[in-house]
Amino acid sequence: MPHEELSALNTRFADDATAGLRFALSGALGRVALVSSFGAESAVLLHMVSRIAPDTPVVFIDSLMLFPETLSYQRELAARLDLRDLRTITPDRNTLFQRDPDNLLHRSNPDACCALRKAQPLEQALRGFDGWITGRKQFQGTTRSHLQMFERDDTHLKINPLAAWKPADLADYMTRFDLPRHPLVSQGYLSIGCAPCTAPVAQGEEPRAGRWRGQDKVECGIHIANGRVIRRQAS
């Protein structure tokens, strides 16, 4: 899709996440899947998709290093929202045995670990799809502050319906529809990924400050810019 068309869509749906999501799921953009981490704020987008197009494929990446609470939450939400095409994907076991036999790759090379456990499985899962829906939001950090609803990477159209939503918008939505919270949120986890690389967030920190704490890494590699994994900006 040309840049001009993306700009037109972003202008058209700038103030209406639901309308933008409904358009994305209408078939006008081709075959689209929702990729969800079943993390801290995932219930909102999952609920919206379940109301608009309940047969939408939902891709859940189980890196085999997730918190047990995330796996329980995933099962709870899937049943609660009647997700009809939930696809749990995992890294290839033989490749894991060859490249990360001790499950310690995240310590020596976190980018390689994320590629092995997340990016490569997702790349395979998205074959045959024209686009995918993400739950990214501008407030989550400086690297996402200019995020638009519609964008494109090297291979797919990406739809970020909640890009402009604020924390209060998410909280209001979850309260209005009585959606369950991820159990780790109450313990200070505002962005939840793999257990070894996720920490609680202190008051005043960016929501993703607990991801790969102490490193310049801020993205797992499924979201890239100019072909490279996005890095933390120097202060």
**How many Å separate Cα 15 from the centre of its chain?**
21
Q: What is the CATH number of domain 3-188?
A: 3.40.50.620
User: Is 220 annotated as catalytic?
Assistant: yes
pLDDT tens per residue across span 64-95: 999 999 999 999 999 999 999 999 999 999 99
pLDDT tens per residue across span 1-18: 778 899 999 999 998 999
With 0.85 as the threshold, say if the pTM is over it: yes
pLDDT, greater one: 139 or 65: 65
Domain assignments of the chain as residue spans, ordered by start? 3-188
pLDDT at residue 142 above 90?
no
Q: What is the mean pLDDT of residues 16-42?
A: 96
pLDDT at residue 145 above 90?
no
| Mean pLDDT computed over every residue of the chain | 91
pLDDT tens per residue across span 18-28: 999 999 999 99
User: Rounded to an integer, what distance in angstroms lies between the CA atom of residue 11 and that of residue 174?
Assistant: 27
User: Rounded to an integer, what distance in angstroms lies between the CA atom of residue 222 and that of residue 230?
Assistant: 10
Residue 54 is classified by DSSP as T
Marked catalytic residue, from 114, 194, 197, 220: 220
pLDDT at residue 170 above 60?
yes
